[in-house]
Amino acid sequence: MAPPPPATAVADSMSAPAAPRDSQTNIDIMAVTKGFHWPWFIALVFALTGVAVAAATLAYQTYVGLGVAGYQAPIFWGVYIITFVFWVGIGRILVGLTALWCRRTIRQTYHKFIH
């Protein structure tokens, strides 16, 4: 019976699998994430500044009260509620118009193939 080969010979014969090569599409998509772009950084700082100002304003109004916004006793939250309902209504109208537009587009496409 022959002795088994030494362990070092087996370890030397094993090699790491080759890393898969990225396609050109992946390379193009990931190229956007490489490097530092100043316009993006300026836009990020501007957006974060806006969020910080909004948070500070909300905190100040919560601490001091609604008088900061110019509201008096009988109409405290009324303007906020009316504004919220207004924008919900606008959103609902736009969803309805989009549904009608999609229905019309699909119907026209369907009839184009039939006739």
pLDDT > 90: what percent of the chain? 30
Average pLDDT, the chain: 80
- Give the CB-side neighbour count of residue 69, counting CA atoms within 13 A: 18
Q: What is the dihedral of CA 43, 47, 48, 52, to 10 degrees?
A: 150
pLDDT > 70: what percent of the chain? 76
Return the biggest CA–CA distance within the chain. 102
